Amino acid sequence: MSLKQVSIQNVTYSYPEQETPALKDISLSVNSGEVLAIMGPTGAGKTTLALLLNGLIPQFYEGRYVGNVTINGLSTNSHSIQDLVEHIGLVLQDPETQIFGITVFEDTAFGPSNLGYPREKIFSEVEEALSRVRLSGFEDRLTSTLSGGEKQRLAIAGVLAMQPEILVLDEPTSELDSFGRVEIIDAVQHLRSRHQTTVILIDHEVESVIELADRVAVIIDGKVAWLGDPRELFRNARLTKEFSIRPPKMFNLWQGLADAGLVHEKEEMLTVDNAEAVLREIMRGKKFLPQPGINPKVEEETRHPIIEIDGLCHTYPTGVEALSGVSCSIRQGELIAVIGQNGAGKSTLVKHLNGLLQPSSGSIKVKGVDTRSASVHELAHQIGYVFQNPDHQIFSMTVEDELRYGLKNLGLSEADHEARLTEALEFVGLQDQRDRHPFSLGKGERQKVAVASILAIAPPVICIDEPTTGLDWTEKIQMMELIQKVHQKGHTVIMITHDMDLVAEYAQRVLLVSQGEILLDDTPSRIFSEADLLRKSHIIPPAVSQLAERLGDLDCPGTICTISQMMDAITTLLRVS
């Protein structure tokens, strides 16, 4: 019988001044050496559950609390957080809340130093932890200069360096590039195999859960709605939809093939490995036919560019060269995805468009006007910017007032002012929330508030930094449908994202940024066919692109990057055969 390292017994908890409990009579246990995944929609209570485990609830966060939590037999009610930290490490969803050091080394060494490790052990643990999250060489870098993804990797390194017996990860890869997600999975597997670490993983990423978890608990409305084998859950389309969980990427391909009568229900396609085996079996050596429709180039444009970037370089005051000789043109009505590993220069590039940053050399022109001769206020009428974290730009007491703030500066008549406000709220579906405090809304809705506040100003170009970070699957779809609506309305949309499947599905054009330069500028199909360049840039292409590459010996076009394209290629081949 396995030792229960974590035991949650009949816990009910309500935050201060909140009538509805965030957790409702919840009970769970985790065995020694087990990986338990926690999934569920945004706002279900997953993060609250994580805060129970190291005593932050009830010792730091007040509120109404009943029940009992034990960690290695120690009750979180009667043992201090300082006692519990020797047994359990917690990586929070927002890395900003747990970075204390001035430099990367100091921050990573903070935990093991407080545990009283000898100097030599501190240095060795810091070195290994930074290596595991790809931050070797960053030891002297100021933590304030790191990108969002680099800060998330640093927060993980700080906990890894303490070698906790129990590791709790709350959305550990939400801000990481695709390569970074794989590295964190590898780090967790290493801890488990080498140290028998018990892991509790809160995540929306289905593939991570398939690869790591022994069991998955789905939390809905503060209760455990489902508990069992991850594969059993992910095979059930009804349950994944009900729980706002994205089905595995290959499951959608399997479902399409099953509907066409090409595969049997007993065959499993939850991973790329599964899918490759099944497709080789049903194709029996047949070769794919040419698919000319999925190999388009970015069309030559005759329209005058709305944004012209020429030889753009930017060096931060710390001496970090973030951009080096970037040149490109952006035209009205494009939907562009900007991709690249954490720290590649994506946000730095886009923040130059509205004057938040100024070039060290080179130039940017917006509608023919050099950004250095225009104020941020003036540029805001042309370029709207939605931050990665909507909370960084929301400051009003109601949703309506948040939108009014930007409109006040446009010199509109009262009638036009009200019309724009109402139109923007209706466009994002928040017309019934106009009197709500923004921070009483879920993150997906706060993201919509941020988008609506920009839409109300009606700039021709809208830049959105990581629009789906931290959202559940239902919210992701809603956000991408909203972005499509914005684009169809005539706006140019520039989207920074690490979600390659969304890039393949929605973007018309992709800019791959690597080490401060634009390495590739093309359509998603052509970008994701450049397997070697993507690997060098630490970008993992969509699962369908990976499958297409593996089936290259069967002449599968490398430009296939969506489920619908793969379905068309397979059905065309089998229909002809």
Sheet of strand 307-315: strand arrangement: 321-330, 307-315, 361-366, 369-370
Residue 277 pLDDT exceeds 80: yes
- Specify the pLDDT at position 183: 84
**Tokens standing for residue 167:** 């590791």
- Cα torsion at 16, 17, 20, 21 (round to 10°)? 10
d(CA 421, CA 434): 10
pLDDT at 42: 84
Torsion of CA 371, 363, 515, 133, to 10 degrees: -10
**What are the backbone angles phi and psi of residue 382, rounded to the nearest 5°?**
-105, -35
Structure tokens at 490: 């005539």
From the number of C-beta atoms within 10 Å of its C-beta (0-12, 13-18, 19+), residue 215 rates as: middle
pLDDT tens digits, one per residue of 4-37 = 799 999 999 999 888 899 999 999 999 999 999 9
**Regarding predicted confidence, which is higher, 138 or 575?**
138
Task: Report percent pLDDT > 70 for the chain.
Answer: 96
pLDDT one-digit tens code per residue, 43-86: 899 999 999 998 999 999 889 999 999 999 999 999 999 889 88
Judge whether 23 and 48 are in contact, CB under 8 Å.
yes
Dmax over CA atoms of the chain, in Å, equals 73
Q: In the block, which residue shows the tokens 């960084």? A: 392
Is pLDDT of 269 > 90?
no
Query: Mean pLDDT in the chain?
Result: 90
Specify the 3-state DSSP secondary structure of 374. Answer: coil
d(CA 171, CA 182): 14
Amino acid at 420: R
- What confidence score (pLDDT) does residue 1 get? 40
180 compared with 371, residue with greater pLDDT = 371
Pairing of strands 23-31, 4-14: antiparallel
Cα 577 to Cα 575: distance, rounded to the nearest angstrom: 5
Query: Would you say 493 and 486 are in contact if contact means Cβ atoms under 8 Å apart?
Result: yes
Domain ranges across the chain: 249-295+549-576
Report pLDDT for 104. Answer: 97
**Nearest residue to 51 via CA among 16, 86, 23, 9:** 23
Residue 346 has pLDDT above 80, yes or no: yes
Query: What's residue 412's pLDDT?
Result: 83
E strand map for 233-320: 307-315
Residue predicted with more confidence, 419 or 2: 419
Q: Which of 165, 176, 166, 235 is nearest to 205 (CA)?
A: 176
Query: Nearest 5°: phi and psi at 115?
Result: -85, 0
Of 180, 178, 179, which is closest to residue 154 (Cα–Cα)? Answer: 180
pLDDT one-digit tens code per residue, 230-263: 999 998 989 999 999 999 989 889 888 888 888 8
Residue 418 or 1, more confident: 418
